[in-house]
C-alpha cells in the first residue's frame, strides 16, 4: 500500500509558468521554486508532500533538445523509487514534443508523470499558472486503493488531462492551448477531479499486474526530419531534404487521409530514400483524423513502395517514436510492424 500523503516531485525546466514580473522594472524573471509554498499558499493544503528541483539554468522551450530530454528523464530515474509521482513544468511551445518523447523514454512507467505549464506568468494578475500547477499536482497525487490513478505520461492544461503523446498545441493565445484530437481526455477538472476509467483501462494501456522495473531509454536518434508537403513542392526540395547526409528517418506530413503527389519524380525520391534504409512515416497534416494508406490512389503508391502508416499519430509523437525506434537494430519489416502498432497508447 502507498502512503497516505503521496510524495510528488516538481521538476522545473523553464518556461512562462516559472516567470514572475518585477513590477518596478516590468521585466520577467525566473521564479525560485524552493519558495513555491510561500508564493502559492494553496499548495500547503494539498494532501501530498511536495519537493521541487530546477534546471540550473531554466530554458525557453524553443531551446529544448535531446540533451534536455535526457536530463528530465534522469531526474525521474534518480528519484523514481522514493517518489509517488512527478510534475514537469516546461514551456508550452514544445511541451507536446517533450512529453511525447518522455512517454517512449520511460519504459514500464508505473507512476504518473504529468506535464503542465501556462500561457501567462505565475505572477500575472490573470494567470492560468496556479490552476494548472495545483491541479497537475493533484492529478499526480491521485490514488485509489493505495495505487496511482495515472500510470503514464500525461499533460494537464486548462481543466483537461490528456495522454501526453496524443496532444498538440493548438493556440498561442487561448488558455485552452492544447487538444487531443484523436483520443478522449484522460480526465477533467471541475467541481470534482474526474478520471475517464474506460480510457485508463483500455486494452492498449492496461494497468500492469506484474510490475516491471523502470527502464530509461536515454538514447534517441537525432538523424530525423519533418517534411511537410504543399502544393507545388519541387523535386529539388524533396530530394535535398531526403538527401541529408546521415538521415535515418522522416515524418512525411501528407494531405488529408495520407495523400501525396503521384508525380514520377516524387515517388522516385521516396523510393530511393527507402532503399537507402531511411524510415519514412506518413502522417496527416489535418488536425484530426487519420492516414488511410490505399484508400485513394494518391496514397496507394506510397503503400506499395514501403512508406510506414502513421495512422492517427500526431507529428510530435511520430517524431519521438522515430527517434526511439531508430536506436534499436530492427530490419525494415520489424521497424514497420513496431511503428504501426501502439507502444504507449500513441496511436489507435
pLDDT at residue 312 in the model: 97
Residue spans per domain, the chain: 7-216, 224-339
Q: Given this model, what pLDDT does residue 107 score?
A: 97
Marked catalytic residue, from 13, 16, 92, 167: 16
pLDDT in tens, 225-259: 999 999 999 999 999 999 999 999 999 999 999 99
User: Do the domains 7-216 and 224-339 sit in the same CATH topology, yes or no?
Assistant: yes
Q: How far apart are alpha carbons 175 and 42 in whole angstroms? A: 21
Percent of the chain with pLDDT over 70: 91
**228-264 b/e (C-beta count within 10 Å ≥ 16 → b):** ebeeebeeeebeebbeeeebbbbbbbbbbbbbbbeee
- Predicted confidence (pLDDT) per residue in 157-215, tens digit: 999 999 999 999 999 999 999 999 999 999 999 999 999 999 995 444 444 456 789 99
- Cα–Cα dist 122/107, whole Å: 32
| Range name among 9-18, 269-278, 301-310 with the lowest pLDDT average | 9-18
b/e 14-25 (16+ beta carbons within 10 angstroms → b): bbbbbbbbeeee
What are the cell numbers at 280?
519514412
Instruction: Give pTM, 2 decimals.
Output: 0.93
Backbone angles phi, psi at 302, to 5 degrees: -65, -40
User: Does residue 2 register a pLDDT over 60?
Assistant: no
Confidence (pLDDT) at 18:
77
Q: In CATH, what number does 7-216 get?
A: 3.40.50.1170
Nearest one of 97, 89, 90, 96 to 66, comparing CA atoms: 97
CATH topology of domain 224-339: Rossmann fold (3.40.50)
pLDDT score, position 44: 82
Residue 24 exposure: Cα atoms within 13 Å on the Cβ side? 1
With a cut of 80, say whether residue 131 has pLDDT above it.
yes
In angstroms, what CA-CA distances link 179 with 14, 84, 161? 22, 27, 10
CA distance 211 to 105: 17
Report the percentage of the chain scoring pLDDT > 90. 75
- pLDDT at residue 24, rounded to an integer: 73
How far from 343 is each of 83, 181, 234, CA to CA, in Å? 25, 19, 35
Average pLDDT of every residue of the chain? 91
Query: How far apart, in whole angstroms, are the C-alpha atoms of residue 218 and residue 236?
Result: 35
- The answer to whether the CB of 296 falls within 8 A of the CB of 259 is yes
Residue 153 in contact with residue 109, Cβ under 8 Å?
Answer: yes
pLDDT at 129 over 60: yes
Active site residue 314: no
- Of 193, 130, 188, the C-alpha closest to 160 is 188
Condensed to tens digits (0 to 9), the pLDDT of residues 82-115 reads 999 999 999 999 999 999 999 999 999 999 999 9
pLDDT for 121 equals 82
**Residue/partner pairs of 63-68 with CB below 8 Å, 24 or more apart:** 64/13, 64/90, 64/91, 64/94, 64/97, 64/98, 66/220, 66/222, 66/323, 68/13, 68/98
pLDDT at position 207: 46
Where is pLDDT greater, at 75 or 39? 75
Evaluate if residue 71 carries a pLDDT over 60: yes
Strands of the 7-12 sheet, one edge to the other = 49-54, 7-12, 85-89, 113-116, 153-157, 160-163, 187-189, 193-195
Amino acid at each position: 500500500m502507498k502512503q497516505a500523503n503521496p510524495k510528488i516531485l516538481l521538476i522545473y525546466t523553464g518556461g512562462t509558468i516559472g516567470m514572475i514580473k518585477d513590477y518596478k522594472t516590468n521585466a520577467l524573471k525566473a521564479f525560485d521554486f524552493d519558495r513555491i509554498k510561500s508564493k502559492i499558499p494553496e499548495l500547503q493544503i494539498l494532501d501530498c508532500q511536495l519537493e521541487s528541483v530546477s534546471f540550473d539554468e531554466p530554458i525557453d522551450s524553443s531551446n529544448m533538445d535531446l540533451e534536455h530530454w535526457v536530463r528530465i528523464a534522469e531526474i525521474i530515474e534518480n528519484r523514481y523509487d522514493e517518489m509517488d509521482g512527478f510534475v514537469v513544468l516546461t514551456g508550452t511551445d514544445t511541451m507536446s514534443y517533450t512529453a511525447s518523447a518522455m512517454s517512449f523514454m520511460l519504459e514500464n512507467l508505473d507512476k504518473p508523470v504529468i506535464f503542465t505549464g501556462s500561457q501567462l506568468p505565475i505572477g500575472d494578475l490573470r494567470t492560468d499558472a496556479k490552476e494548472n500547477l495545483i491541479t497537475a499536482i493533484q492529478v499526480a497525487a491521485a490514488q485509489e486503493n493505495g495505487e496511482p490513478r495515472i500510470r503514464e505520461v500525461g499533460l494537464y492544461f486548462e481543466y483537461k488531462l490528456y495522454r501526453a503523446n496524443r496532444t498538440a498545441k493548438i493556440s498561442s493565445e487561448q488558455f485552452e492551448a492544447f487538444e487531443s484530437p484523436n483520443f478522449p481526455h484522460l480526465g477533467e477538472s471541475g467541481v470534482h477531479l474526474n478520471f475517464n476509467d474506460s480510457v485508463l483501462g483500455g486494452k492498449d494501456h492496461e494497468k500492469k499486474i506484474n510490475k516491471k522495473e523502470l527502464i530509461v531509454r536515454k538514447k534517441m536518434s537525432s538523424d530525423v526530419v519533418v517534411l511537410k508537403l504543399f502544393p507545388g513542392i519541387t523535386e529539388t526540395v524533396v530530394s535535398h531534404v531526403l538527401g541529408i547526409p546521415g538521415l535515418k528517418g522522416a515524418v512525411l506530413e501528407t494531405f488529408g487521409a495520407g495523400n501525396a503527389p503521384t508525380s514520377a519524380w516524387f515517388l522516385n525520391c521516396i523510393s530511393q530514400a527507402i532503399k537507402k534504409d531511411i524510415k519514412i512515416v506518413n502522417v496527416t497534416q489535418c488536425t484530426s483524423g487519420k492516414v488511410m494508406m490505399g484508400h485513394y490512389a494518391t496514397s496507394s503508391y506510397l503503400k506499395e513502395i514501403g512508406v510506414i502508416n502513421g495512422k492517427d499519430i500526431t507529428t510530435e509523437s511520430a517524431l519521438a517514436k522515430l527517434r526511439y525506434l531508430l536506436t534499436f537494430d530492427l530490419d525494415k519489416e520489424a521497424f514497420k510492424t513496431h511503428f504501426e502498432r501502439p507502444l504507449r497508447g500513441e496511436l489507435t
